[in-house]
Chain A
Amino acid sequence: MSKITNEELLNSIKAKFDSDVTNISEPFGLLTLETSREKIIALLTFLKTDAVLQFIYLTDITAIHYPEAEKQIGIIYHVHSLVNNIRIRVKVFVADGDVKMPTATVLWNGANWMERETYDFFGVVFEGHPDLRRVLNVDDMTVFPMRKEYPLEDPNRVDKRDYFFGR
């Protein structure tokens, strides 16, 4: 199926970034690693430009919020090498007061709206992004709705009776 195995991929990454990639696992065959905010662009550039790996396709950028962890917000990149038919998932965790990341639009144009969506929902500020504003929610929203503390339903509703719907 894939032309290179997860092991070879991991070895080529470790050859360049040995101590910077941690938490390596392979859930369902997809190599997953964690790195730091300082090294993420270097790692993605290496993955994209290396002659053997050729991870030229950015599948998705998204985020996740763990309110109890030490570093609450995780930004997750899925990258795909079409030539070798292999995927990789890279995560970066940042703490809540300091949610800044370098932008990936320097590598892929497609990261533009993906990062805007991540900013819109989690508040991750991507430094260097050409146009970082909200994309899906209303422009004047002040909170970041996908964070766990924000409720699903509209908090200002007056017409729904809780004793009927038993919340």
Chain B
Amino acid sequence: MQNHPVFTDNDPQNEYSTLNLGPTHPATHGVFQNVLTLDGERIVSGVSTIGYIHRAFEKIAEHRPFYQITPLTDRLNYCSSPINNMGWHMTVEKMLGIKMPKRVDYMRIIIMELARITDHIICNGVLGVDTGAFTGFLYMMKYREDVYEIYEEICGSRLTTNIGRIGGFERNFNKIAFDKIHKFLKEFPPALKEFEALFNRNRIFVDRTRDVAAVTAEDALSYSWSGPLLRAAGVDYDVRAMEPYSSYEEFDFEVPVGSNGDVYNRFLVRNEEMWQSLRLIEQALTKLEKEPSDIFHADVPEFYLPPKEEVYNNMEALIYHFKIVMGEIDTPHTEVYHSVEGANGELGFYLVNDGGRSPYRLHFRRPSFINYQMYAPMSRGMLISDAIINMSSLNVIAGELDA
């Protein structure tokens, strides 16, 4: 097994025990390990070990053409894969200088906000499960299935979606997809209200989560936290608001901010973000009606595959198809950093390109990885049960932690 440095701070009576909160967790959280030194029920110190699902994404990305990196990005934060996919597509489009039509931007916003809702469903539901309340989670999972049906209608797959292409989407949203989105928008708000009614003023839940793992804004910023965790600590940093991408500047939404960064605040911030996502989806649907309904990709034949009928009948389309798939198109020799607001925080893509088919270097700025480093210092002095709640409210997704 691995060699873990264990800190025995001042153990005069030799009564501290070691607990291995090991890589085999209950199914919800993922594989990371904490070796805790305990004084009874209280944690004296802890050492985190990660890397149990290290899949070398950055190395794989150096050997794949740009369009084949999208399935890799799916598996970063697999609870909300469309956000990762869109972030990657936007990074490549930024590098290539492709300007997207408005309709594609609005479609992307719908998909990204649906993904954000699903991620927060899992996080808040699992937080409930960790405090002992299984019901809320089970009620919410049904709505995840509804969103899966929407994804299936658009891209064919449920969880690891590989949705969209560099330059837009692979097919237009058909009537069934729009009907399902409308149905979701009608059925989910009452369920979310019921979920909030189960938890928000529930005496047991509030007692378990209020003032647990409170974090000051200075600490959160110095540890480079982002996303709902940073916003719960009081800093209103949201990439959608500060550096709007994909036409977010045209939309009217609020960024919920908490006060003392404890677990209860994080829960409330995520719930409120789900309401704001619903608002964004409604606005995007109204804006979509004003756009011509047949545009679903940008007009970039050098990077967006032509439809198969044209490939078989048209010489130009055949040549473009060949060049795109074989990677013969020249790409600029440059570097770009683009970030999107993932469900856990700022998901950044640092792409260094050398003009070839694959990136020279691709680095993912993964919010779970950066958020999680504070876990061990933060859990000093906490009870074990509080440390477990703290871990589930950090929403560490193992795929994004280890990449």
User: Do A and B interact?
Assistant: yes
Q: Is A114 an interface residue (CB 8 A)?
A: yes
Q: Determine how close the nearest CB of chain A comes to the CB of B95; give it in whole angstroms.
A: 8
Q: Determine how close the nearest CB of chain A comes to the CB of B153; give it in whole angstroms.
A: 34
CB-CB under 8 A from A113, the residues of chain B are: 369-370, 372-373
CB-CB under 8 A from A166, the residues of chain B are: none
CA distance A113 to B26 in the complex (A): 25
CB <8 Å contact, A146 and B59:
yes
- Which listed segment binds A: B49-57, B120-128, B162-170, B270-278? B49-57
CB-CB under 8 A from A11, the residues of chain B are: none
CB-CB under 8 A from A135, the residues of chain B are: 50-51
CB <8 Å contact, A136 and B54:
yes
Q: Determine how close the nearest CB of chain B comes to the CB of A8; give it in whole angstroms.
A: 19
CA distance A113 to B376 in the complex (A): 12
CB-CB under 8 A from B240, the residues of chain A are: none
CB <8 Å contact, A152 and B63:
yes
Q: Is A27 an interface residue (CB 8 A)?
A: yes
Q: Is B337 an interface residue (CB 8 A)?
A: yes
CB-CB under 8 A from A28, the residues of chain B are: 94-95, 334, 336-337
CA distance A56 to B224 in the complex (A): 9
CB-CB under 8 A from B370, the residues of chain A are: 60, 110, 113-114
Q: Is A71 an interface residue (CB 8 A)?
A: no
CB <8 Å contact, A58 and B350:
no
CB <8 Å contact, A85 and B346:
no
Q: Look across to chain A and name the residue whose beta carbon is closest to the beta carbon of B370.
A: A110
Q: Determine how close the nearest CB of chain B comes to the CB of A164; give it in whole angstroms.
A: 19
Q: Determine how close the nearest CB of chain B comes to the CB of A157; give it in whole angstroms.
A: 15
Q: Determine how close the nearest CB of chain A comes to the CB of B223; give it in whole angstroms.
A: 4
CB <8 Å contact, A58 and B59:
no
CB <8 Å contact, B50 and A136:
yes
Q: Look across to chain B and name the residue whose beta carbon is closest to the beta carbon of A114.
A: B370
Contact with A27, one of B62, B223, B336, B339 (Cβ below 8 angstroms): B336
Q: Is B243 an interface residue (CB 8 A)?
A: yes
Q: Is A72 an interface residue (CB 8 A)?
A: no
Q: Is A57 an interface residue (CB 8 A)?
A: yes
Q: Is A78 an interface residue (CB 8 A)?
A: yes
Q: Determine how close the nearest CB of chain B comes to the CB of A102; give it in whole angstroms.
A: 18
Given contacts A112-B373, A152-B63, whether A27 and B54 have CB atoms under 8 Å apart is no
CB-CB under 8 A from B337, the residues of chain A are: 28, 30, 78, 87, 89
Given contacts A112-B373, A136-B50, A152-B60, whether A60 and B223 have CB atoms under 8 Å apart is no
Q: Is B348 an interface residue (CB 8 A)?
A: yes
CB <8 Å contact, B50 and A76:
no
Q: Look across to chain B and name the residue whose beta carbon is closest to the beta carbon of A113.
A: B373
CB <8 Å contact, A110 and B3:
no
Using CB atoms and an 8 Å cutoff, list the residues of chain A in contact with chain B.
1, 27-28, 30, 32, 56-60, 62, 64-65, 76, 78, 82, 85, 87, 89, 108-114, 117, 121, 131, 134-139, 145-146, 152
9 closest Cβ pairs, A-B complex: A110-B224, A136-B51, A113-B373, A60-B365, A136-B54, A110-B223, A62-B363, A109-B222, A64-B361
Known: A27-B336, A28-B95, A82-B221. 6 other contacts (CB 8 A): A28-B336, A28-B337, A110-B224, A135-B51, A138-B51, A139-B3
